Structure 1
């Protein structure tokens, strides 16, 4: 039905004046900003913090005994897996969803971008590597101390290391071809300490552990440098490989979150980790997998 004629109600006039005032203010702001030569700026309220009902967990398998898939059920298992699931359950999070990244770097990138809430994967948090990672990640307190190790084929009788602990001099040889996983402390250690092995002809870098092991078994590489506990775990599950020695690096593993811990997870992880060490739960899980 058409509106009748007559004078505009006072309420409408007040509303019109209010709208006019807003338009004038907006024009003034845009004009001022344009005068500064920086273009139009639109002010938006900050995003509301996410209500956490489900935690998104990320890892990179296979890396036994820390994280790997059960050969029968295909379920994720391992020390890291059981430890973090116990921690977050005790912290009150009953729902979580795992993503298994094929490569290690995409896992770290996803955590840094906030697409994954917690990164779990024997992630070194100290030393030069830790300092670099701390630019985009925040870490829990350390939960494991590790070294690097040498993995070789079971039929290889070459004594790459004369004693239990390998020396730089023993491994810094142009006669060696070494395999490593990309963007790991294994790669960084070789590059930083073994100048004779740098270059594509002597250092073979693969995106995932599966490819590293395939190339070791196919004799494309002579040895693999990998975290010592993982070397032990792989050799215990596959008779084709044996551990050839230890490289002392004293690496600390931590659980990773986005820089600044936007969800406030680190204090909760640390509190439960400390409590589990106190009440024996941590040692129970540790002894199960090592």
Structure 2
């Protein structure tokens, strides 16, 4: 039995080594591949988008079609890069799956409320910001929590999403609070509603979407960080990144960006359109 156990252990170790070597080989091959050229030939760009985040990326349960600000921006960028017949394909992602899916080549770019940070810039390359968000908190109406400072007390529980920059920030602004991390925003909101935490934290744009759907919950305290969103591409895809930046400038200049911004945020209470328009 001991020999069998040793054999199985050795087999498992060899299998893990093979998977690791294969993954490394795939990553190297991907970094050498010109994504812009491949997408141009296919006349298609595959975008990783949120499917659970109202206003930014949410799947319509009736039509199974992704809808939101980032979805429309991705469509506009696709047309600008590939022409009017260019096709945009959308793959639903979460904060924890977006980078692995990008690295594995399942998606060409991430446009999914991803904040530009130095740490993330070590893993991916970012375009310039397309949305200047700021972190805030969502609480139940009538809550004694009025700002992030009120959460910096022992016993307070803050709900966040695994892999998001927001949970790291709470550790800085409310270090005494306990963090409860969920896999996505839908689960995080459910946790808040069920009383598992005192507040839910993430970027204000996402929280305004939650508040619009749930009138019993409000965004309080204003923004306590600056969280610029960027489009992420794989390291080494400089041509692709530069082309996206050029397309972003074009849709800003011709008014497309502002039309999309107004479409999704124009009627959102508390959203400052004048500060965001370009």
TM-based fold match above 0.5: yes
Shift of 1:48: 6.5
1:75 counterpart = 2:62:
no
Q: What is the alpha-carbon distance in structure 1 between the residues aligned to residue 156 and residue 72 of structure 2? A: 37
> Cα deviation per residue 1:177-225 (whole Å; 9 max; x = unaligned)?
110011112111112332211xxxx210111111101111110111101
1:287 counterpart = 2:258:
no
Q: Is the 8 A contact 1:60 1:107 kept in 2?
A: no
Q: What is the alpha-carbon distance in structure 1 between the residues aligned to residue 103 and residue 181 of structure 2? A: 23
The corresponding residue for 1:104 is 95
> Cα deviation per residue 1:236-282 (whole Å; 9 max; x = unaligned)?
122342222323211111111101216x2212211111111112111
1:191 counterpart = 2:141:
no
Q: Is the 8 A contact 1:119 1:256 kept in 2?
A: yes
SS in structure 2 opposite 1:242? strand
TM-score (normalizing by structure 1): 0.73
Q: What is the alpha-carbon distance in structure 2 between the residues aligned to residue 241 and residue 121 of structure 1? A: 23
Describe how 1:8-27 pairs up with structure 2 within 5 A.
Answer: none
Which of 271, 274, 290 is 2:249 aligned to?
274
Describe how 1:77-156 pairs up with structure 2 within 5 A.
Answer: 77-92=67-82, 94-101=86-93, 103-125=94-116, 130-154=117-141
> Cα deviation per residue 1:86-115 (whole Å; 9 max; x = unaligned)?
1111111612321112x3111122113433
Cα 1:113–1:133, aligned 2, differ >3 Å: closer, same or farther?
farther
Unaligned runs of 5+ in 2: 1-28, 266-278
1:61 counterpart = 2:51:
yes
Shift of 1:70: 2.2
Q: What is the alpha-carbon distance in structure 2 between the residues aligned to residue 89 and residue 96 of structure 1? A: 8
| Greater share of residues in helix | 2
Q: Is the 8 A contact 2:161 2:182 kept in 1?
A: yes
Q: What is the alpha-carbon distance in structure 2 between the residues aligned to residue 118 and residue 107 of structure 1? A: 9
The corresponding residue for 1:29 is none
Tell me whether 61-70 or 250-259 shows the greater mean CA deviation: 61-70
Which of 152, 172, 176 is 1:172 aligned to?
152
Could you list the runs of 4 or more consecutive aligned residues of structure 1 that deviate by over 3 angstroms after TM superposition? 46-50
Q: Is the 8 A contact 2:182 2:188 kept in 1?
A: yes
Q: What is the alpha-carbon distance in structure 1 between the residues aligned to residue 105 and residue 135 of structure 2? A: 29
RMSD of aligned residue pairs (Cα, Å): 1.9
Cα 1:49–1:118, aligned 2, differ >3 Å: closer, same or farther?
closer
SS in structure 2 opposite 1:247? coil
Q: Is the 8 A contact 1:112 1:136 kept in 2?
A: no
Q: What is the alpha-carbon distance in structure 2 between the residues aligned to residue 243 and residue 274 of structure 1? A: 31
Q: Is the 8 A contact 2:151 2:157 kept in 1?
A: no
The corresponding residue for 2:144 is 159
Q: What is the alpha-carbon distance in structure 2 between the residues aligned to residue 49 and residue 244 of structure 1? A: 45
